[in-house]
Amino acid sequence: MPEYRAQLGVRLRSGVLDPAGQAVGHALRDLGFSARDVAVGKLIELTVDAASLELAEAEVRRMAAELLVNPVLEDFDLEIAPR
């Protein structure tokens, strides 16, 4: 069975308060940088076995829906490729 490596970038939906982003932005400005609109997200990487790229992507999207992403607060983008 072919292996596929997936990367999910999980970020807070726009408009959702991001206390971690705010805190990091504040620290960057304290250091003298001009950073603003700082957002802190998560990167999740995993390998799946699947018969095709399409099936692999479908399975990872199910993982996102069932556990990895909270759709109330979060969005994600997915990159997936044969390993």
Taking CB under 8 A as the criterion, which residues in 11-70 touch another protein?
16-17, 19-20, 22-23, 42, 66-68, 70
* Tokens matching residue 77: 């983008």
CB of 53 to another protein, least distance (A): 25
Q: Taking a C-beta distance cutoff of 8 angstroms, is the pair 41, 11 a contact? A: yes
DSSP-assigned states of every residue in 54-75: HHHHHHHHHHIIIII--TTTEE
Return the number of the residue (37 or 66) whose C-beta is nearest another protein: 66
Binding site residues, another protein, CB under 8 A: 16-17, 19-20, 22-23, 42, 66-68, 70, 72-73
